[in-house]
Structure 1
Amino acid sequence: MYAQTVYEGNLPAVMRAFAISLGVATIGVMLGVFVPPSLFLPLAIIEIGMLIFAFFLRRKKAISYLFLYTFTFISGLTMFPIINYYMMSIGPQIVLMALGTTTIVFAGIAIYASTTKRDFTFLGGLLGAALLALIVIAIFNLFWPMSSTAMLAYSFIGVLVFSGYVLFDFNRMKKYGVTAQEVPTMALNLYLDFINLFINILRIMGILKDRN
């Protein structure tokens, strides 16, 4: 009962911070056009470093709102080349369709996870292993690029994994609650779920578009 009360009390704050994070990232994407190409790699390294820092920091204490919004802004900047590539190659309509599909999938899973009586927190270990596998494959892909068919399969698995994370994160908040100090951390988790889900859906649509 206490966890449910804490969850309901702080869920609006989590969703508000999540929405602001998406807004900040959108500003970053829009400003990405002014970033010299040579700076995208350093920005990506900073983004990865902040993500690793957040992973270890959350074991001791929650991250701050300043950290959250700084990270999401940098994330938006580094997403510009990806968004711009797909805008140019498959058109803005498909990109918007991918964004709309992501929003529908995210919202649907979030509603189910927040209302079901089933406990999905057992998925944490499985999802962690799957995410690690995706990261390893992505690193190998930098040196030995996958075929379009393999990348399509990889992206579908990515959609399943990050859909699973949406289910896991909302279900975990419902079961264990969210303290005020944990709000930025949970908002960051949801942001990462949404963005990675979007990128994988966008990649799928881009591959299918190229095949037509």
Structure 2
Amino acid sequence: MDRTVTVSHSGSFAHVLQTFAISLLVSFLGTLIGAMVVPPSMIMLFVIAEVAMLVAAIVIRIRGKHIGYGFLYAFTAISGVTLYPVIMAYGGMLGANVVSGAFFATAAIFGGLAFYAHRSQRDFSFLGGFLFAGTIGLVLMSVIGMFVNFGSITNLIWSMLGILIFSGWVLYDVAQYRNGVSSEEVPLAALNIYLDFINLFLYILRFLASIVGISRD
């Protein structure tokens, strides 16, 4: 996804963060719905819908148009539904307390990086090419992982790269949005930050699971 935006003060950074926070809440509600209402046999339909909406967001952006708040919250709700089985799987492997700890660790890392990017006023645009290439690499690894069972060491390296790359995206995106965006761009900015946070969380969970796997080998 094209993660650059036209800077404007009509949508403040605080507004972007507020929209991101609401997106996290909507995602959490989606996770509850996934736990209580959605049968496991239907999860794949939500995964397909999630991917389709991501592709749609890219196409909309390429065409110079904007996603709306309805699109953003629908996506994060669906994302929450698809997160439920993943979190349950890690919970069974690591324990609920470790998963909760991973979430708070993610929040702490995200908050620290966001604070640094906002207050330092450094230009992190030079990271864009590396982060894009790294993200494509992670996607390819995910596709290969559907057919190949990676060992614990490979998963550990993969998770460390994922943590590094999405930590970089936090720096990059916050630096892009810290001076405000146009009001039409707020949902897209919040979506990008939401994806940064969720992927950072998932790679931290993968990292912890890899350590457990290595200890059991």
Superposed pair shares fold, TM > 0.5: yes
CA contact (8 A) 1:32 1:76 kept: yes
CA contact (8 A) 1:57 1:63 kept: yes
Rounded to whole Å, the distance in 2 between the matches of 1:136 and 1:4 is 32
Runs (5+) with no aligned partner, structure 1: none
In structure 2, the CA distance between the partners of 1:12 and 1:146, relative to structure 1 (3 Å rule), is same
Rounded to whole Å, the distance in 1 between the matches of 2:84 and 2:154 is 25
Letter in 2 for 1:103: A
* Deviation by residue 1:135-159 (Cα, 9 ceiling, x = unmatched): 0111011111211110111000000
Question: What is the aligned partner in structure 1 of residue 3 from structure 2?
Answer: none
* Deviation by residue 1:59-99 (Cα, 9 ceiling, x = unmatched): 31221000000000000000000111122221111001100
Letter in 2 for 1:146: F
TM-score (norm 1): 0.93
Matched, 1:155 2:159: yes
Question: What is the aligned partner in structure 2 of residue 195 from structure 1?
Answer: 198
Give SS of 1:6's match: strand
Question: What is the aligned partner in structure 2 of residue 80 from structure 1?
Answer: 84
Give SS of 1:16's match: helix
Letter in 2 for 1:73: A
CA contact (8 A) 1:166 1:193 kept: yes
How far the C-alpha of 1:203 sits from its partner, in A, is: 1.3
Rounded to whole Å, the distance in 2 between the matches of 1:102 and 1:66 is 26
Q: Equivalent of 2:20, from 15, 18, 21?
A: 18
Rounded to whole Å, the distance in 2 between the matches of 1:194 and 1:75 is 12
How far the C-alpha of 1:107 sits from its partner, in A, is: 0.4
How far the C-alpha of 1:170 sits from its partner, in A, is: 0.6
Aligned positions of 1:129-148 closer than 5 A: 129-148=133-152
Rounded to whole Å, the distance in 1 between the matches of 2:156 and 2:185 is 35
Q: Equivalent of 1:47, from 40, 45, 50?
A: 50
How far the C-alpha of 1:44 sits from its partner, in A, is: 0.3
Aligned residues: 208
CA contact (8 A) 1:6 1:178 kept: yes
Q: Equivalent of 1:173, from 163, 168, 177?
A: 177
Rounded to whole Å, the distance in 2 between the matches of 1:14 and 1:96 is 25
In structure 2, the CA distance between the partners of 1:165 and 1:49, relative to structure 1 (3 Å rule), is same
Indicate the structure with greater helix content: 1
CA contact (8 A) 1:102 1:194 kept: yes
In structure 2, the CA distance between the partners of 1:4 and 1:36, relative to structure 1 (3 Å rule), is closer
TM-score (norm 2): 0.91
CA contact (8 A) 2:152 2:211 kept: no
Question: What is the aligned partner in structure 2 of residue 30 from structure 1?
Answer: 32
Rounded to whole Å, the distance in 2 between the matches of 1:63 and 1:5 is 17
